[in-house]
Amino acid sequence: MDADTIHLTLADVSPVDLHLTDTGAPLLGGQWVRGTQTATYSWSEVGSGIRMEWIDIDGARRFTIDHAGECDIGWSGASGEFARQFSPCIEAAGIGRSYGFDTASLPDGAHRGGGDRVVEAYPAAALLLWELPREGYKSDPAARENLLAALEERAPWLAWEPGARKACIESDDSLDAVLCALIARAAALGLTEPPPPEDRDLARAEGWIHLPREGSLGELAVDHRW
């Protein structure tokens, strides 16, 4: 190189501290939601600074903050000198952001990010939480008849397709299928226990059994999301 040339390398050894906040909210908790929802996050940066922030939802850019006007990355054509700032873009700590959007703007179907609506169910545990008789129902038709009678008393809105109730008495698998449908309904209404924040990444990889909340059976006929 010639004597007038200086090579500078910018090394950012401190990664951005970025995390979602309010992870207990229905949207960030991976629940099925309707209406206007809010995504919140916080960041801190003490290295080279932040050039741009954005939020992608289902692979589409929905929210952007461009800090180009606050960055010092130019150079002088007259002197040939670049900016001498060690942190060319903005530094800050504990900056909170929120972005609200209407879920009606999203296409129907599964959405990426851990909230896909595939529900893993455990019928026997649901019966316990709903205080329904479960002893012997896997092997005894009379126990299944007793369980169905209790279920119909607690959920009078339950309507049977022709032959469906008889099939549940004859087969524990058929009855489990109905119970799984009720658990899926509870999950859709946000009436099951979601994974806690510290287990959410593990649940996305390994799965999560949705257990209905105690006493929620009577609420399945009402959609509280509207």
pLDDT digits (tens, 9 = 90+) for 167-194: 999 999 999 999 999 999 898 888 888 8
Decide if pLDDT at 30 tops 80.
no
pLDDT digits (tens, 9 = 90+) for 57-101: 766 788 888 888 887 766 655 555 555 555 677 788 888 888 888
Half-sphere exposure of residue 180: CA atoms within 13 angstroms, side-chain side = 13
The alpha carbon of residue 32 and the mean position of all alpha carbons in its chain are separated, in whole angstroms, by 8
Decide if pLDDT at 129 tops 50.
yes
Overall average pLDDT of the 120-137 stretch:
93
Decide if pLDDT at 206 tops 80.
no
Q: Which residue has the higher pLDDT, 206 or 108?
A: 206
Residue 52: enclosing H or E segment and its boundaries? strand 52-57
Decide if pLDDT at 226 tops 50.
no
Q: Which residue has the higher pLDDT, 45 or 13?
A: 45
Burial of 183 (0-12, 13-18, 19+ CB in 10 A): buried
Q: Where residue 39 falls among pLDDT bands split at 50, 70, 90?
A: confident
- Helix, coil or strand: residue 23: coil
* R_g over Cα of the chain: 27
Measured distance CA(220)–CA(50) in Å, rounded = 46
Cβ contact 87:49 at 8 Å:
yes
Query: In the structure encoding, which two tokens stand for residue 119, read together?
Result: 């529900």
Measured distance CA(125)–CA(26) in Å, rounded = 23
pLDDT value of position 195: 83
Write down the H helix ranges in the chain.
123-129, 141-154, 164-170, 172-188, 200-206
Q: Where residue 130 falls among pLDDT bands split at 50, 70, 90?
A: very high
Q: Where residue 55 falls among pLDDT bands split at 50, 70, 90?
A: confident
pLDDT value of position 5: 65
Single out the residue of 190, 208, 189, 212 nearest to residue 199, CA to CA: 208
